[in-house]
Structure 1
């Protein structure tokens, strides 16, 4: 995965958490209005706050994202108790040069023909808002925070929670 330098403090925090988690659950809106989620491997967070994923043109997620571009990506590191929720807009991209830049042998099982696979495409998600929950780094710190919160009611010791305005829609 490639994480570009972020020039915005909010995106820098997002980049740190995305780099740590690597895999997201992408949620789209189905025709019947229900929410559909599936795992996606993050290939890049570019310097403009766009996340890039390889996808299949024929997948249901593409049809859903084209019908309603509003999507959500959620990242989790349960071992660290760190969570990230990103709202954004999805766009289908068929740029061969960009695909070549992001290609990894790890993608080949899904696209055996490689970059020449006619079903291969990119999904670009432009982040519009972010919310995160970031617990203390050590298990001892998390345990201390929990004990303090139980004893005093002070939930601040459990970690940091922030809503970030990344880009206005």
Structure 2
């Protein structure tokens, strides 16, 4: 089933879908136009459609987004068959109050001096659009469907799931 959500409803749905998926694959554009993807831990998604990540001030991704702010985030939860693609614009934020708000001690692994580390900054992604796919079928039902497709030579057709676009 495909559907398109309005902004408020869509952002609420997106926030609910990614709340338990802590790691996103962030893709940015290198200066030569090639794509660069790396894992990032989502710190927070606000109701206003902004996603927040910690990053180093001098990281490659900061240089990349200064050149081209377009980014893509991929979220996947294979256990629940939920997949989300987010497109947006990234910017660097060095606001001390926001860093304090999002800080937790696990981040000391990357920022040994804590919240006051001179290399600490935030990456803010303002969401432009998102697309999601959910499959209500259990893994067993999916495997049976794939096996049937292999035996019959017919393409695999997953059961009715949910697919939608969220425009922001």
Any residues of structure 2 matched to 1:117-136 within 5 Å, and which? Answer: 117-136=117-136
Q: Aligned Cα RMSD in Å?
A: 2.2
Q: Which residue of 1 aligns with 2:4?
A: none
Structure 1 unaligned runs (5+)?
A: 1-6
- Candidates 142, 155, 159, aligned match of 1:157: 159
| C-alpha distance in 1 between matches for 2:70 and 2:46 | 19
TM-score (structure 2 length as normaliser): 0.85
Structure 2 unaligned runs (5+)?
A: 1-6
| C-alpha distance in 2 between matches for 1:164 and 1:106 | 32
Structure 1 position 155, deviation (Å): 4.5
8 A Cα contact 2:142 2:158, kept in partner: no
Question: What whole-Å deviation, never above 9, does each CA across 1:96-127 have from its counterpart, x for those lacking one?
Answer: 11111100111110000011111100000000
> Which of the pair has the greater relative contact order for Cα pairs under 8 Å at 6+ separation?
2
Q: Which residue of 2 aligns with 1:27?
A: 27
Computing the radius of gyration from Cα coordinates, the structure with the larger value is 2
Q: Which residue of 2 aligns with 1:65?
A: 65
> What is the count of residue pairs matched by the alignment?
158
Secondary structure of 1:33 counterpart? coil
TM-score (structure 1 length as normaliser): 0.84
Any residues of structure 2 matched to 1:1-169 within 5 Å, and which? Answer: 8-136=8-136, 138-140=138-140, 142=142, 146=145, 155=157, 157-165=159-167, 167=168
8 A Cα contact 2:28 2:61, kept in partner: yes
